C-alpha cells in the first residue's frame, strides 16, 4: 500500500448532519474520496457487532457528475482494506443501499452522493450494519483516523470488483409493505394520475415500476446539473411540476404530484391545485393514516424544526412524541432503541418503524397515496380536512441565508446565546429552545415559532417559521432576516 498525505485535501475533512460533503474538485477529489473510504471502511470493520460474520461493504452512487467513477475508487479502497466491496450496477437511491445492508447482513455501505445539495457538490454517506446513517460518535472516530496524519490508499490497482443489483429486491420489498396492486386499481377506478418529478435524481423509475401506467414522470433522465438548481424538492425548484398540476386541474383531471430529492430519501408533494406541500403537512397525514391502526405500535419522532401539527395529530391518536435535534441520524437512534410508528424531519425525510431506521422517499410516497385512495380525497382536500379535525391550521416557510464570513456567524451565535430577542415582529417570545440552534416560540399555545440554525451540510443559516397565517410567516421571516443582517 502507498501512503496518501492529508495535505492533498483542501481543508480538514469533517462530517455534517448526514455524511461528508463538499465542492467537487475542491473538497471532494479522488484523493479525499480514497482517504474517507479507507477510514470509513476500517471503522466499519473495527466496530462490527460480534455476531456479524461478514466482510461485505456495499458501494452505491447517485447520478451526480463523477459519482460512478469515484464510487469505483471507493470500492478499490475498501478492497485494499482486505474487505469485500460490492458495487451497485447503476445509480440507486440511498434508501435502497440501506435496505440492502440489512438484507445482505453487510458491514455497512458507502454511498457517493450529495443528496439535495447544489450540482457542484458531491460527498459520501456512511450506513451502518443496522441499515441507517452512522451516529456522530462513529464519524468522529473516522475524522480521528484522518487526522492521524495519513491513511493507506490503494496500491497499483484492484482486482475485479463484484457488482450487484440493488434496485430489484428493494422494489420487491416495497411491494410487500404496500399493496401496490390495490393502489393501481383504486387510482384507475378514481381516474387519478400520479405525476412524479424525481428532479433528475436516483429515484427515477421507482414509482412507475411499482404502479405502472398510473404514474407519469417528468425530468427523469440523468442531468448532473439538475436543471440548473439544487435537487431539493422545494417550491422554487418544482415550477414545472406545479405548472403541469395547474394545467391538469384546468382540464378537470385529478392529479397527485410527488417529488424526490437527488438521492431519493426525501419527499415533497404538490396538491391538485398546484399548491406545494412540504413534509410539515405530509408527516401529519402519515401519522393520521398509520396511527389509526392499533396493530402498528410506537411513538412518533420529530425533529425540533418539525411542525406543531405533527404533535397535535400524534396526540389525537394517543401517540407519544419524541423530539430530537435536526438530522435523521438522531431519529434513527430512537428507532433503534424503542418501537416507533414513524419518524420525520422538516426537510423531507420520513422513516417507518416497520421498515428500517432510515428515511425512505419511495415508501413515504406509496403510503401517502394509500392514505389518499383510502379516503378518496385528493391531497389538498385531505390535508384541509385533517387540519380542520385537529383544530390547527398552520402555514410554514424556510429561508436560507448564505453566511460565508465566519466572523458574522460567531457574532450572531454570541448574540443569540447572550441576548436572545424578547419580542419578534411585535410578538412576545414565550419560550426559548436551544436543542439545535435556537427556537423561539411566540405567543401562547402551539403554532407560532421561529427557529435559527446553521446547516450541517452547507454554509447556510436556515430560518424556519410556522404561524397561523401566511402573513405572519412572511413578517416573522422578514424580521429574522433583518436581525441577522444587523448582527
Q: Over the stretch 117-127, which tens digit does the pLDDT of each residue have?
A: 999 999 999 99
Q: Phi/psi zone of residue 115: left (φ > 0), alpha (ψ -120 to 50 degrees), beta?
A: left
Element (H, E) at 256: strand 254-260
Q: For the packed helices 94-104 and 167-177, what is the interaxial angle rounded to 10 degrees?
A: 90
In 29-48, which positions are buried (b, 16+ CB within 10 angstroms) versus exposed (e)?
bebbbbbbbbbbbbbbbeeb
pLDDT value for 158: 53
Which of 195, 199, 215 shows the shortest CA–CA distance to 207? 215
Q: How confident is the model at residue 157 (pLDDT cuts 50, 70, 90)?
A: low
Q: What phi, psi does 256 have (nearest 5°)?
A: -105, 125
Q: Is the pLDDT of residue 458 over 80?
A: no
CATH 1.10.10.10 holds for 395-485? no
pLDDT value for 455: 83
Options 3.40.30.10, 2.60.40.1170, 3.10.450.50, 3.40.120.10; CATH of 178-390 = 3.40.120.10
Q: Is the pLDDT of residue 211 over 70?
A: yes
Q: How confident is the model at residue 155 (pLDDT cuts 50, 70, 90)?
A: low
Comparison of pLDDT for 235 and 404, the residue scoring more:
235
Global pTM value: 0.92
Average per-residue pLDDT for the chain: 92
Q: How confident is the model at residue 156 (pLDDT cuts 50, 70, 90)?
A: very low
- Separation between Cα atoms, residue 425 and residue 338, nearest integer Å: 41
pLDDT tens, residue by residue, 336-345: 999 999 999 9
- Residue listed under C-alpha cell 389509526: 292
pLDDT tens, residue by residue, 369-384: 999 999 999 999 999 9
Which cell numbers in the block locate residue 19?
Answer: 455524511
Q: Which long-range contacts (CB under 8 A, 24 or more apart) does 390-394 make?
A: 390/284, 390/309, 390/312, 390/313, 390/316, 391/312, 392/308, 392/309, 392/312, 392/446, 392/447, 393/468, 394/280, 394/307, 394/308, 394/309, 394/447, 394/466, 394/467, 394/468
What 3-state class would DSSP assign to 56?
strand
pLDDT tens, residue by residue, 70-101: 999 999 999 999 999 999 999 999 999 999 99
Contacts of 486 (CB under 8 A, 6+ apart): none
Q: Is the pLDDT of residue 107 over 60?
A: yes
Same fold, 2-166 and 178-390: yes
- Separation between Cα atoms, residue 184 and residue 202, nearest integer Å: 23
Which of 263, 212, 271 shows the shortest CA–CA distance to 246? 271
pLDDT tens, residue by residue, 198-207: 999 999 999 9
- Residue listed under C-alpha cell 421498515: 355
Domain ranges of the chain: 2-166, 178-390, 395-485
Q: Is the pLDDT of residue 240 over 90?
A: yes
pLDDT tens, residue by residue, 281-309: 999 999 999 999 989 999 999 999 999 99
First vs last Cα of the chain: how many Å apart? Answer: 51
Kindly state which CATH superfamily the domain 2-166 is placed in. Answer: Alpha-D-Glucose-1,6-Bisphosphate, subunit A, domain 3 (3.40.120.10)
pLDDT value for 4: 38
Q: Which of 215-224, 423-432, 443-452 has the highest mean pLDDT?
A: 215-224
Three-point CA angle 264, 267, 273, nearest 5°: 135
Which cell numbers in the block locate residue 261?
Answer: 430529492
- Residue listed under C-alpha cell 420525520: 344
Amino acid at each position: 500500500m502507498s501512503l496518501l498525505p492529508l495535505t492533498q485535501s483542501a481543508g480538514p475533512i469533517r462530517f455534517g448532519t448526514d455524511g461528508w460533503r463538499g465542492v467537487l474538485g475542491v473538497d471532494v477529489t479522488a484523493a479525499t474520496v480514497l482517504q474517507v473510504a479507507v477510514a470509513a471502511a476500517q471503522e466499519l470493520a473495527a466496530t462490527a457487532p460480534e455476531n456479524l460474520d461478514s466482510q461485505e461493504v456495499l458501494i452505491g452512487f447517485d447520478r451526480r457528475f463523477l459519482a460512478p467513477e469515484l464510487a469505483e475508487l471507493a470500492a478499490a479502497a475498501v478492497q485494499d482494506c482486505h474487505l469485500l466491496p460490492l458495487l451497485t450496477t447503476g445509480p440507486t437511491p440511498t434508501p435502497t443501499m440501506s435496505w440492502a445492508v440489512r438484507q445482505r447482513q453487510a458491514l455497512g455501505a458507502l454511498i457517493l452522493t450529495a443528496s439535495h445539495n447544489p450540482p457542484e457538490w458531491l460527498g459520501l454517506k456512511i450506513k451502518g450494519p443496522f441499515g441507517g446513517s452512522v451516529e456522530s460518535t462513529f464519524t468522529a472516530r473516522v475524522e480521528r483516523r484522518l487526522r492521524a496524519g495519513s491513511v493507506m490508499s490503494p496500491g497499483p490497482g484492484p482486482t475485479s470488483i463484484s457488482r450487484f443489483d440493488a434496485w430489484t429486491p428493494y422494489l420487491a420489498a416495497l411491494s410487500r409493505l404496500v399493496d401496490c396492486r390495490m393502489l393501481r386499481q383504486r387510482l384507475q377506478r378514481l381516474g387519478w394520475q400520479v405525476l412524479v418529478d424525481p428532479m433528475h435524481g436516483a429515484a427515477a423509475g421507482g414509482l412507475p415500476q411499482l404502479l405502472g401506467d398510473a404514474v407519469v414522470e417528468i425530468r427523469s433522465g440523468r442531468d448532473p446539473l439538475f436543471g440548473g438548481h439544487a435537487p431539493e424538492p422545494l417550491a422554487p425548484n418544482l415550477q414545472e411540476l406545479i405548472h403541469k398540476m395547474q394545467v391538469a386541474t384546468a382540464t378537470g383531471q385529478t392529479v397527485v404530484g410527488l417529488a424526490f430529492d437527488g438521492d431519493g430519501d426525501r419527499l415533497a408533494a404538490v396538491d391538485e391545485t398546484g399548491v406545494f406541500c412540504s413534509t410539515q403537512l405530509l408527516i401529519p397525514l402519515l401519522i393520521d393514516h398509520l396511527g389509526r391502526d392499533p396493530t402498528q405500535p410506537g411513538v412518533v419522532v420529530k425533529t425540533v424544526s418539525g411542525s406543531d401539527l405533527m404533535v397535535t395529530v400524534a396526540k389525537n391518536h394517543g401517540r407519544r412524541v419524541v423530539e430530537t435535534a435536526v438530522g435523521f441520524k438522531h431519529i434513527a437512534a430512537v428507532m433503534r432503541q424503542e418501537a416507533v410508528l414513524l419518524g420525520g424531519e422538516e426537510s423531507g425525510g420520513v422513516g417507518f418503524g416497520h421498515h428500517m431506521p432510515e428515511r425512505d422517499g419511495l415508501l413515504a410516497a406509496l403510503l401517502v397515496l394509500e392514505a389518499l385512495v383510502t379516503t378518496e380525497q385528493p391531497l389538498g382536500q385531505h390535508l384541509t380536512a385533517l387540519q380542520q379535525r385537529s383544530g390547527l391550521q398552520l402555514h410554514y416557510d424556510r429561508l436560507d441565508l448564505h453566511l460565508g464570513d465566519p466572523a458574522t456567524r460567531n457574532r450572531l451565535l454570541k448574540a443569540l446565546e447572550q441576548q436572545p430577542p424578547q419580542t419578534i415582529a411585535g410578538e412576545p417570545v414565550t419560550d426559548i429552545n436551544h436543542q439545535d440552534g435556537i427556537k423561539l416560540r411566540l405567543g401562547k399555545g402551539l403554532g407560532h415559532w421561529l427557529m435559527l440554525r446553521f446547516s450541517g451540510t452547507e454554509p447556510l443559516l436556515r430560518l424556519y417559521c410556522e404561524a397561523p397565517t401566511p402573513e405572519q410567516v412572511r413578517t416573522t421571516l422578514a424580521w429574522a432576516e433583518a436581525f441577522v443582517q444587523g448582527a
